[in-house]
Structure 1
Amino acid sequence: MIAKLQIQLSPALYLRDPQTTELGQKIVNESIFLIDEIGFEAFTFKKLSKVISSTEASIYRYFENKHRLLVYLIAWYWNYIEYRITFETHNISDPEEKLKIAIRFITRKLNDDDNFPGISESVLQHIVINESDKTYLTKNVDEINKEGLFKGYKSLCMTISSYMKEINPDFEFANSLTSTCLEAAHQQIFFAQHLPRLSDLKNDKDLYERNFEFLTTLIFNSLRK
């Protein structure tokens, strides 16, 4: 089934756009579940080919390696978050309200979106929390960056930092604060779940709400100094 809506991503992320074919969508969606189940280190195209009842060669026609597939998944996630923020803030003029909506979207626990049936956003969020730093903590990060593979992440950062600059035009660290909070949005969840002494958040039903409160406090206190 072809998705009702599509997130536009850089062609440098793939060899063939997986959103345009049933097999490509299956590769993407099943890779999300497999990476979430076994972790990125254990994930291979050979294992994925067995899950989708296809061949490794068919996967390599879409992605040149598993790292490029991971970059694609994380890029899709951040582009999706920006799409939701842009949609929800379209008719809002108050920058503080827009910023709070943005913080809500980067910290909320996602449910699957029926508008994108080829992607499980809820499971993909687990991968962002657990694996996203592997997209840029690599020796060839500069080369990857020059290819424009982090364009979606940067675009989201620019969108949120623009709200900060509307609130306080004299604030010097809008980009730094935004990128820090984008990382903290999933790092604090990871710490609370696995390294609890590194976070004041508790791994309970209010975890995501408390993360929203933490980042809201951090951002607005910084902007009002």
Structure 2
Amino acid sequence: MERLLINIKISVNEKIYLKDPESSDLGKRILKHSIELIHSIGFECFNFKKLGKEIGSNESSIYRYFENKHKLLLYLTSWYWGWLEYKLVFSTNGISNPKNQLIKAIEIICDVIREDSRFSHINEVKLSKILIAEYSKSYLTKEVDDENKEGYFSIYKRLIIRIKEMIGQVNPKYQYPASLASSIVEGALHQHFLREHFPLITDCSDTKTTTSFYSDLVLKTIQK
């Protein structure tokens, strides 16, 4: 199964970019250094001029790949959800018991991220921290409905639907599988944020992980 993952390419909606950054060395450098820079200074302070200095290229060369920094953030977040989806699918594929499959899916979504050596130009650890801190900025915009119609959030929604279906396999009578599935995905980001910045208002820690919290919450909720 692992060998099937060696040459995978995470597919992102082509409407998000002007030129596929995965198609060239410069494009991959744009992705790599944008993750480094956004992680370092935050999305609000990030711009293409600063990124150009980091990669040793003209600012105009970045605009050949992305219309603006919002589209770049959409690309990075879409890539992350696509990567998580691959991990979820391959990690749960051989599990026949629905409950155990759901538990594994929660682990994939909620665990602290470790770097994946298959993608040398993407630092998944730093990208996950960007998602924790910045993901809401990709959709809390006036254009969200139009961008949703264009399919910009399709991977994110597809991941949630997979978890929704797993919940339904455990308890077909549970009335709120979509709400619970989206709460797991969004809540995992929020709990990681609280753990790092507001530890007094979360129980999640090294000993009480986000994974254990959501596993306990979900199973107790759907098995009532």
User: Normalising by structure 1, what TM-score?
Assistant: 0.94
> Given the alignment, which residue of 40, 48, 52 partners 1:49?
52
2:86 partner letter: Y
Moved more, 209-218 or 178-187: 209-218
Report the RMSD for the aligned CA atoms in angstroms: 1.3
Q: Which residue of 2 aligns with 1:213?
A: 212
Between the aligned partners of 1:190 and 1:51, the Cα distance in structure 2 is 27
* Aligned-partner Cα distance in 2 for 1:72–1:222: 34
CA deviations 1:20-56 (Å, max 9, x no partner) are: 1111011011100100000000000000000000111
The runs of 4+ residues in structure 1 deviating greater than 3 Å are: none
Q: Distance in 2 between matches of 1:76 and 1:185?
A: 18
Structure 1 regions of 5+ residues with no counterpart? none
2:118 is aligned, of 99, 115, 125, to 115
Instruction: Work out the CA distance in 1 between the residues paired with 2:41 and 2:83.
Output: 24
Shift of 1:214: 0.7
Distance (Å, rounded) in 2 between the aligned partners of 1:119 and 1:163: 29
Task: State the TM-score, normalizing by the size of structure 2.
Answer: 0.94
Partner of 2:63: 60
Given that 1:18 and 1:24 are in contact with CA atoms closer than 8 Å, whether structure 2 keeps it comes out as: yes
> Which amino acid counterpart does residue 26 of structure 1 have in structure 2?
R
User: Which of residues 76, 94, 102 is equivalent to 1:91?
Assistant: 94
1:131 aligns with 2:134: yes
Identify the match of residue 198 of structure 2 among 191, 195, 200.
195
| Separation in 2, partners of 1:56, 1:33 | 17
Amino acid at match of 1:68: K
Distance in 2 between residues matched to 1:68 and 1:32, nearest whole Å = 14
- Cα distance per residue 1:54-91 (max 9 Å; x no partner): 11111111111101111111111111001011011112
Instruction: Measure how far apart 1:201 and its partner are.
Output: 2.2
Question: 1:224 — aligned with what?
Answer: 223
Q: 2:118 is matched by which residue type in structure 1?
A: N
Distance 2:87 2:122 in 1: 15
Partner of 2:109: 106
Whether the aligned pair in 2 keeps the contact of 1:6 and 1:116 (CA below 8 Å) is no
**Aligned-residue offset at 1:192:** 1.7
Write the letter of the residue equivalent to 2:165: S
Shift, 1:195, TM fit: 2.0
8 Å Cα contact 1:7-1:76 kept in structure 2: yes
- Counterpart Cα distance in 2 of 1:184 and 1:29: 27
Question: 1:126-205 counterparts in 2 under 5 A?
Answer: 126-202=129-205
Distance in 2 between residues matched to 1:200 and 1:194, nearest whole Å? 13
Cα deviations across residues 125-181 of structure 1 (Å, max 9, x unaligned)? 110111111111111110111110000001100111111000111111111111111
Secondary structure of the structure 2 residue equivalent to 1:148: coil
Number of aligned residue pairs: 219
Q: What does residue 14 of structure 1 align with?
A: 17
